[in-house]
Amino acid sequence: MFLGLTGVAAGEAEKIHQISAELCKTCHQEVYRQWSGSMHAKSTALSDPIHGAFYQTEVGDPTQEGQIHKKSGKFPVCLQCHAPNAARDKTTKLDAKPAYSEGVNCVACHTLTNYKGIRGEDGKLRLGLQSYELSEKLQAPQGFNRGLQQLTASGDLFGGAAASGGDSKKPNPHLGEAVEFEGKKIPALPMEGNPTQMKTNNACMGCHDQRDNPHGVPLCLTGSEYNMSKSDVNCLACHMPIAEGVADHSMGGGHNPGMLKRSVVFDLTTQRDGDNIKAKVLLKNQQPHSLPTGAPFRNIYLKLSAYNDKGEILWENAAGHPAESDAQAYLVYVMADDAGKPAPPPEATKLGKDTRLKPHEERTLQYQIPAKGVVLVRGELYYNLMWPQLAKRFEQLPEELRAPILIAEAERAMPSP
Ligand code: HEC
Ligand code: HEC
Ligand code: HEC
Ligand code: HEC
Ligand code: HEC
C-alpha cells in the first residue's frame, strides 16, 4: 500500500486543511524555506516560546484534547489565528497532526476566501478564521486560466506553468488531477484564482486587524492603525516583496532584525550652544502602522550618551532603562488596571498612554548636554519584544527573545570649541 508524504494511506482522502506544508515543499522548495523560518511556521504554543508561555497560563497544555480558554470557558480563541487548522477541526491536541503543529501553514492562508471583516453584525469581534469564508480549494493570486487554451485544443492538462515565475518542469497538481513527481504520488490539489483575497490586505487582516482582551481592551491594533494612516500601500508590498521572481514568504516583523532596521529613519544633529550641546534626535516611522506595532509588549527605547576623549560616558539621557527618567525616549503602548497602573495584557481594564510613533509620524526629541569635555555624542535605538518586567518574569525564555536588539545608531563628533 502506498503511503503518501503526509502519512495518510492513498484513498483515505485528507481534507485540504489537514495537508502538511511538507507536501507543498515537494515542489515549492524556496517558498517552503522562506515560510519555515517565519513566525507563521512557529505560531503555535508548541514552537513559539512567548506565545506558549501565555497559552499555558490562559488555556493549558497544547498537547491535550479538550482544553478551554479559562476566562471565557470556551474553545480557545487563540487557535483561530495561532493554529487555524486545529481550530477548523475543533481540536486542542496540537501535536496530533503536522498541519496543526505547523500553525499558520500553506493551506491555512491559501484556503481563506471572502474576507468579511472582523466586526460581526452583533458588533462582536470575529477573529482569525471566523472572519473568512473557508474554501476546499486552494486560493491563488492568479490561478490557471486555461479556458482559451482548451478552446483552441492545445491544452496540456498535466503540465505547464502559471504565469508566475515557478518551476515549469514540475507536474501541476492544481489542475484537477493527481500527479506523480520523483516517484511520489501527489493528490489533486484543486485551485482557483482569487486576486481580491490573495493580492490585498484581505489576506492578512482577519488575523492582524484587532484583538481585544476579555475586558474589551485592544491588545493589538495593526489594522486600525493602518486604516488611520489612509495608506493605499498594502501589507504585501512590504511583507511579501518579490525576490527572484516570487513573492517572499519570510514575512518578517518584530523577530526579524532586517525588517526592524529598515523600519525607522534615525538621525542625530548636534550644535554647540554656550556651555551646552543641543542635540536633536530624529525618528521617522516608515510604516503605515505604528512603530512598534503588533503585540502590546513590543517597545523601543533610545539611549543617548556623550563621551570624553577616553571613551568614558560623561552624560546619558537615562541611567539604565529610560521608562522613569526620560519618558520621551520610551516608545510603548501601556495597558492599565482600574487604578491606571500598568497591567499584564490579559488583566488590563483600560488603555494607558501610547507613546509609539503613529503611522508615518516624524518626531524630534531634544536634549541639552553639558559640553565640557565631550568629544562624541552617540545615539542608539533598541527594539524589545517584551516589556522589561515581562522579560524578567519569563526568565526561562531564551536570552535572544529577552535581550534588547540594536536597530539603529548615529554618532556626531564634537569639534573642540
Ligand atoms: C500568511 C499567509 C500565507 C502563508 C502561510 C503561505 N502563503 Fe503562499 N501566498 C500568500 C499570499 C498573500 C500570496 C500572494 C502574493 C502576491 O501575489 O502578491 C501567496 C503566493 C504564493 C505563491 C505564488 C508566488 C508567486 O509569486 O508566484 C505560491 C507558489 C505560494 N504562495 C505557495 C505557498 C506555500 C508552498 C506555502 C507554505 C510553505 C505558503 N504559500 C504559505 C499567503 C501565504
Ligand atoms: C507536484 C508539484 C506541486 C505540489 C506538491 C504543489 N504544487 Fe503548487 N504549483 C505547482 C506548479 C507546477 C505550479 C505552477 C508553476 C509555478 O508557479 O510554480 C504551482 C503553482 C502554485 C501557486 C501559484 C498559483 C498562481 O496563482 O500563480 C500556488 C499558490 C501554489 N502552487 C500553492 C501550493 C500549495 C499551497 C501546495 C501544497 C498544499 C502546493 N502548491 C503543492 C506544483 C506543485
Ligand atoms: C490565519 C491567521 C493569519 C493570517 C491570515 C496572517 N497571519 Fe501573520 N501572523 C499570524 C500569527 C498567529 C502570528 C504570530 C506568530 C507568533 O508570534 O506566535 C503572525 C505573525 C506575523 C508577522 C511576524 C510578527 C513577529 O513577531 O515577528 C508578520 C510580519 C505577519 N504575521 C504578517 C502577515 C501578513 C503580511 C499577512 C498577509 C499576507 C499575514 N501575516 C497573514 C497569523 C496570521
Ligand atoms: C512600508 C512597509 C510596510 C507596510 C506597508 C506594512 N508593514 Fe508591517 N512592518 C513593517 C516593518 C518595517 C515592521 C517592523 C517594525 C515594526 O514592528 O513596526 C513591520 C512590523 C509588522 C508586524 C510585527 C509586529 C510584531 O508584533 O512583531 C506585523 C504583524 C505587521 N507589520 C503587519 C502588517 C500588516 C497587517 C500590514 C498591512 C495592513 C502591514 N504590516 C503593512 C513594514 C510594513
Ligand atoms: C485575531 C488573531 C489572534 C488571536 C485570536 C490571538 N492571537 Fe496572539 N497573536 C496574533 C498575531 C497576529 C501575533 C503576532 C503579531 C503581532 O504581534 O501582532 C500574535 C502574537 C502573540 C504573542 C506574542 C508572541 C511573540 O512571539 O512575541 C502572544 C504571547 C500571544 N499572541 C498570545 C495569544 C493568546 C494566549 C491568545 C488566546 C487567548 C491569542 N494570542 C489569540 C494573533 C492572534
Query: What's the pLDDT at 157?
Result: 52
Question: What gap in Å lies between CA 303 and CA 266, rounded to an integer?
Answer: 12
Which ligand 5 atom is at minimum distance from the Cα of 80?
A: 5
| C-alpha 186 chain-centroid distance | 31
Q: What is the DSSP string of 358-410?
A: PTT-EEEEEEEEE-TT--EEEEEEEEESS-HHHHHHTTTS-HHHHS-EEEEEE
| Ligand 5 center–CA 120 separation, angstroms | 20
Assess whether the C-beta atom of 81 lies below 6 angstroms from ligand 2: no
Tell me which residues have their CB closer than 6 angstroms to ligand 5.
Answer: 48, 50-51, 54-55, 58, 69, 76-78, 80-82, 127-128, 207-208, 211, 220, 222, 294-295, 385
- CA of residue 174 to ligand 2 center, whole Å: 7
What separation in Å is there between the alpha carbon of 162 and the centre of ligand 2? 9
Q: What is the pLDDT along the chain (417 residues), one digit of tens a residue?
A: 334 444 444 445 689 999 999 999 999 999 999 999 999 999 999 999 999 999 999 999 999 999 999 999 999 999 999 999 999 999 999 999 999 999 999 999 999 999 999 999 898 999 999 999 999 999 999 999 888 888 887 545 554 444 444 455 799 999 989 999 999 999 999 999 999 999 999 999 999 999 999 899 999 999 999 999 999 999 999 999 998 899 999 999 999 999 999 999 999 999 999 999 999 999 999 999 999 999 999 999 999 999 999 999 999 999 989 999 999 999 999 999 999 888 888 899 998 899 999 999 999 999 999 999 999 999 999 999 999 989 998 899 999 999 999 999 999 999 876
Residue 15 contacts residue 97 (beta carbons within 8 Å): no
Ligand nearest to C-alpha 258:
4
Q: Of the residues 38, 225, 287, which should be mutated to test ligand 4's pocket, given the most ligand atoms within 8 Å of the CB?
A: 287
- Asked if residue 402 has its Cβ within 6 Å of ligand 3, the reply is no
Q: Is 226 in the pocket of ligand 4 (CB under 6 A)?
A: yes
Given a contact cutoff of 8 angstroms between Cβ atoms, the answer to whether 225 and 359 are in contact is yes
Angle at 390 between CA 387 and CA 396, to 5 degrees: 130
Q: Whose CA is nearest to atom 28 of ligand 1?
A: 31
Query: Distance, CA 42 to ligand 3 centroid (Å)?
Result: 10
Q: Quote the ligand 2 centre to 209 CA distance (angstroms).
A: 28
In ligand 2, which atom is closest to the CA atom of 143? 26
b/e for 268-305, b at 16 or more Cβ within 10 A?
A: bebeeeeeebebebbbbbebbbbbbbbbbbbbbbbbbb
With a threshold of 0.85, does the pTM exceed it?
yes
Distance between CA atoms of residues 162 and 172, nearest Å: 9
> What pLDDT, on the 0 to 100 scale, is given for residue 200?
97
Q: Which domains does the chain have, with CATH numbers?
A: 16-140+196-247 (no CATH), 147-162+171-193 (no CATH), 257-413 (2.60.40.2360)
Short-list 254, 102, 114, CA closest to 194 = 114
- pLDDT at residue 3 in the model: 40
